[in-house]
Structures are given as structure tokens and as C-alpha cells.
Amino acid sequence: MRKIDKSKILSTEYKKWADKLDRDKAEHPHDSRSYYYDVFMNLLHCQKGVCAYTEMFLCNPALLEENNWKKGGYIKEKPECLGELEHFDPALKRDRYWQWGNLFVIASKINKRKGRKEVDDILKPDAPHYNPFELLEYNEKYHIFIPHTGIEDEEKRERIRRMIEVLHLNFDFVRRERRKFLKGISRLEDFQQPEEVDRFFTAYEMTVSVTRE
């Protein structure tokens, strides 16, 4: 799960609207869909077109280029992208439904499974303290993320382990996709220049670093 920088706001109209709701201390309207795709596509832009947690591929990069935004909004009504809007902390959903900091786009399968499970900020991809290379390690043979073995605090390790489960980073389906993708990349690299990686960035980087060691 890579670190996500959400500072680039392209859907400025949405941001103005959400900020005003916050200033007015108004409850966020759940049923409003006026800015749904503005938020959705802006998030995907920040996430480089992949699921915020599992890094599965969700969207063609061409749809995320900045020229797809005009007058503070995304130009297409219903862009063809996979994934669903997700509230990292489900407890905030009731009052702060459209809060930018709590939103991500994730794979539908993961969203269905994550449900209303309690979360811990220790593995929140846009948190300032979050650094996957300090918190996680990747076993490239099993294609499994584990709490970094350098962390000695067992309680912290348990918190990380729990969040790996909540965010489904090792869910069989995800693991299989990741394994096949990385396997494909590695086989291709035997015969040609490495192709640009467009998903599973963290696992790829961690695998490459282990291989180089």
C-alpha cells in the first residue's frame, strides 16, 4: 500500500462546497451525487489509478490526465473506471460523508469486505506519518505483506497485522493478482526492457529491493 499524496485538488468546485459545509458545521448530504465523479476521479488521480489499499488496477491513466478537468470539475459524466468510493473510517460517514481526508477509491471487492470494521490510522495511506517501507515488509515468494520484522514493539506489530487484514492487503484474490502480475513482469524482464509498472507499486519496489540485495 503506497503512500498517497492527496494535496492536488483538481475538482475545486467540490472542495469549495465541502469546505463550506464544514465552515457552516452543516451535516454532509448523503444522497447528493452532484460531485460524486469529481471526487472519485480526483482521488484516482492522486492514487495513480489504482486501489488505495491493494493497488489493483482501476483506471486507464489517460482518463486521469489533468486536461480531463474543466472549470473545477471532471468533464465526463460517468467515466469508465472500476472501483468504489470508500470511507476509511466508517464512523465519520454519518456526519462528514464528503470529507476529503476520509475518502479513497478502492476495488469493489475490497469495499464489500471491509464493511464497517473499526480502523487504525497506523495504516492510513495518506497519513503524514505513514511510510510503507518502515511499517511493512513483503515476502516476494508468498506475495504477502507482514508487519516489518524490524519493529520490536509487539503491540504495534499487532495493530499493523490487524489493519493488513481490515484493508485486505493479503486477501487471496489480491495476492493471486499480485503474484501473476509480478511474475509476468519478471518473466518479461528476462527478454526486454522493464515495462512501466502501473499497479502493485509497493510490492514491486519491495521485490526489486530484495532481488538487488
Residues in contact with other proteins by CB under 8 A are 109, 137, 139, 141-142, 144, 146-147, 149, 161, 164, 170-173, 176, 179
Q: Closest distance between other proteins and the C-beta of residue 26, in Å? A: 30
Instruction: Decide: 172 and 128 in contact? Cβ < 8 Å.
Output: no
Minimum gap (Å) between residue 71 Cβ and other proteins = 31
For other proteins, give the closer residue by CB, 9 or 151: 151
Distance CA 163, CA 124 (A): 9
Q: How far is CA 42 from CA 97, 106, 186, 210, in A?
A: 16, 13, 31, 33
Rounded CA-CA distance 103/96 in Å is: 10
Closest CB 163 distance from other proteins, rounded Å: 13
Q: Give me the least distance between CB of 147 and other proteins, in Å please.
A: 8
The smaller minimum CB distance to other proteins, of residues 68 and 170, is found at 170
Residue number with CB closer to other proteins (128 or 150): 150
| For other proteins, the closer CB: 38 or 177 | 177
Residue 142 Cβ vs other proteins, minimum distance, rounded to whole Å: 4
CB-wise, 21 or 107, nearer to other proteins?
A: 107
Q: How many CB atoms lie within 10 A of CB 167?
A: 27
If phi > 0 it is left, if psi is from -120 to 50 it is alpha, else beta; for residue 56 that is: beta
Tell me whether residue 95 is exposed, middle or buried, using C-beta atoms within 10 angstroms of its C-beta: 0 to 12, 13 to 18, 19 or more: exposed
In whole angstroms, what is the distance from residue 101 CA to residue 88 CA?
9
